[in-house]
């Protein structure tokens, strides 16, 4: 009996060590999957994210399901060499639906002015909207999509914002006021 117990004591640690090694090999032999945190808007400067998100929310509030990420719209803040240009939307095949916001404008602009320009450029890149130069009798622009080369004056503020956004997201309304 002593002999059996002694043999059992000698083989038991070997058996346990062998099992542990195999388990360790099995667990450690597979690489840990890399967890990539997806960016809300890949290819978009982080400072623009809040405006992209707000644009999507405003569209949804008006019954339009907008997903800028799925549309792969990108955006950067950098110097634009052309005088008086605060933003651009590029439609080229090389870089489709790419928004550039002028760095100098961005540094000086209020939150509301930044929103205006980003929404204007997203109007081009996302909605395919063209410029609209119409003005009201008082000389203010009827559309957020004005080009800036016309004679109307911007009047985008907390009071007029809902009207401008309704016009931006509603092409029927936009066509009626032009």
In a domain, 40, yes or no: no
Q: What 8-state DSSP symbol labels residue 139?
A: S
Domain of residue 139 covers: 46-177
If pLDDT is split at 50, 70 and 90, which confidence band does 93 have? confident
Q: DSSP for 110-130?
A: -HHHHHHHHHHHHHHHTT-PP
3-state secondary structure of 58: helix
In a domain, 14, yes or no: no
User: Rounded to two decimals, what is the model's pTM?
Assistant: 0.75
Domain count, the chain: 1
In a domain, 31, yes or no: no
In a domain, 165, yes or no: yes
In a domain, 26, yes or no: no
Place of tokens 């992209």: 52
Q: Quick check: 101 and 75 in contact, CB under 8 A?
A: yes
H helical segments located in 1-102: 2-29, 46-61
Distance CA 51, CA 1 (A): 81
In a domain, 65, yes or no: yes
The pLDDT score that the predictor gives to residue 30 is 52
In a domain, 17, yes or no: no
Residues 110-134 have a mean pLDDT of 95
CATH code, domain carrying 82: 3.30.2010
């Amino acid at each position: 009996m002593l002999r059996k117990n002694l043999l059992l004591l000698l083989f038991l640690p070997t058996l346990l060590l062998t099992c542990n090694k195999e388990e360790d090999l099995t667990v450690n032999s597979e690489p840990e999957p890399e967890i990539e945190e997806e960016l809300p808007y890949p290819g978009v400067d982080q400072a623009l994210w809040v405006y992209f998100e707000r644009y999507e929310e405003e569209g949804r509030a008006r019954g339009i399901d907008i997903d800028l990420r799925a549309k792969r719209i990108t955006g950067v803040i950098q110097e634009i060499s052309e005088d008086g240009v605060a933003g651009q939307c590029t439609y080229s095949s090389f870089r489709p639906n790419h928004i550039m916001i002028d760095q100098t404008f961005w540094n000086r602009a209020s939150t509301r002015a930044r929103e205006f320009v980003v929404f204007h450029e997203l109007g081009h890149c996302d909605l395919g909207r063209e410029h609209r130069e119409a003005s009201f009798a008082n000389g203010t622009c009827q559309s957020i999509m004005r080009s800036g080369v016309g004679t109307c004056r911007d009047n985008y503020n907390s009071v007029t914002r809902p009207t401008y956004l309704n016009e931006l997201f509603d092409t029927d309304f936009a066509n009626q006021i032009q």
